[in-house]
Amino acid sequence: MSRDKGRYTVIGFRVERAGPLALLQDAGRFGVRRLGVTQGGPADLHGWAWANRLAGNPWGAAALEVTFGGLTLVAERDLTLAVAGADLGATLDGEPLPLWQRITCKEGQRLVFAAPANGLRAYLAVAGGFVAEPVLGSVACVVREGLGGFDGRGSRLAEGDRLTVGEPRGIDGPTEAPEALRPDYRAPARLALLPGAQISDFTAQSLFQAFNSAWRVDDRADRMGVRLTGPRLQCRIASLVSEGIGLGAVQVPPDGQPIALLNDRQTIGGYPRLGALTPLAASRLAQCLPGQEVRLVASSGEQALGELRRFHAALAR
């Protein structure tokens, strides 16, 4: 055990098999986009927040984002944890791991994430939170920029890594998430979109197609953004002077196929935009597998704010 700037920490897990992509994510890195540094943080805010809530952690605690599965962890001590988000066929010593609820993992037990069964990204939270040295105010791991994560250099987990956890402080709150708040990620997704400044520059036919067509998630998708394939949208503006890009921005490049930008997006861009997905819509999109159907639904600021308030109210119960 050690004390990291006065904080009690211990080794919680050893990585036996790393899998394709497992990253440490807290709420994200804010106030640094003027430096060209992106946000990071959980691609699925809903799954990440519920994993932490069930583990008894405060908002912003670092959890492990596991994409596609293929990860095996061995507990180095008894731990209280929760897994929310995608069903990646998780097992504990070969037995199915209950999702969306608080459980106990004993020293020596193996936690295995296999492959996607429902959704793409699972979130593992441990009581006390995972601990790492913050970089620019956050431990959020952004591989492209070499920032954050367990080593501070943006590295994805590797075999043999040991994951440090903090001391639990009075675990309370719900022990499982309400059934109604556990999404079926296999269902067609309806993504709320706030119309943007350039929406009137798209042709009338393109606007009709944008909100009345089924879009497919392309296999060109990652934490930076998700390309959608469908009808070719046309805009009267070919390009713009580059401007700031927020979470969920839906850019339309010259090929007419929208790109929804996520947590590891670039900080500026010059393509016209339909608008921006709400934070929870961006989270839902981040759980979609290639080929999955999604639809864009126009939303107002009031609707988006109400959705976010209900999300936080449910967490607080």
- List beta partners, residue 160: none
DSSP E strands in 56-126: the ranges are 63-67, 71-75, 79-87, 91-92, 95-96, 102-105, 110-113, 118-126
Query: In terms of DSSP bridges, do strands 7-17 and 273-277 run parallel, antiparallel, or are they unpaired?
Result: unpaired
State whether residue 54 is helix, strand or coil.
Answer: helix
Handedness of CA 44, 128, 311, 194 (dihedral sign): negative
Q: At what angle do helices 301-316 and 45-54 cross, to 10 degrees?
A: 20
Enclosing H/E stretch for 270: none
Per-residue pLDDT of the chain (317 residues; tens, 9 = 90+): 444 455 668 999 999 999 999 999 999 999 999 999 999 999 999 999 999 999 999 999 999 999 999 999 999 999 999 999 999 999 999 999 999 999 999 999 999 999 999 999 999 999 999 999 999 999 999 999 999 999 999 999 999 999 999 998 888 889 999 999 999 999 999 999 999 989 999 999 999 999 999 999 999 999 999 999 999 999 999 778 999 999 999 999 999 999 999 999 999 999 999 999 999 999 999 999 999 999 999 999 999 999 999 999 999 98
Predicted structure pTM score: 0.96
Q: How far apart are CA 123 and CA 239, in angstroms?
A: 38
Residue 303, helix vs strand vs coil: helix
- Alpha-carbon span 255 to 27, nearest angstrom: 33
Return the pLDDT at 132.
97
Q: 34 vs 167, 168, 190, 242, 245, CA distance in Å?
A: 35, 35, 32, 13, 11
The Cα 3–Cα 192 span in angstroms is 44
- Residue-level pLDDT at 6: 53
Reported as half-sphere exposure (CB side, CA atoms, 13 A), residue 221 has a value of 24
Give the contacts of 232 (CB within 8 A, at least 6 positions apart). Answer: 255, 256, 257
Q: d(Cα 63, Cα 70) in Å, to the nearest integer?
A: 17
Nearest by Cα to 219 from 207, 229, 204: 229
In sign, the C-alpha dihedral spanning 43, 310, 295, 232 is negative
**Could you tell me if 270 and 243 are in contact, meaning their C-beta atoms sit under 8 angstroms apart?**
yes
**Which SS3 state, helix, strand or coil, does residue 182 take?**
coil
Pairing relation of β-strands 7-17 and 2-4?
A: antiparallel
Q: Pick from 130, 160, 122, 145: which is nearest to 29 by CA?
A: 145
Supply φ then ψ for residue 295, to 5 degrees: -130, 145
Ordered by where they begin, the domains of the chain are 2-181 (no CATH), 189-235+243-316 (2.40.100.10)
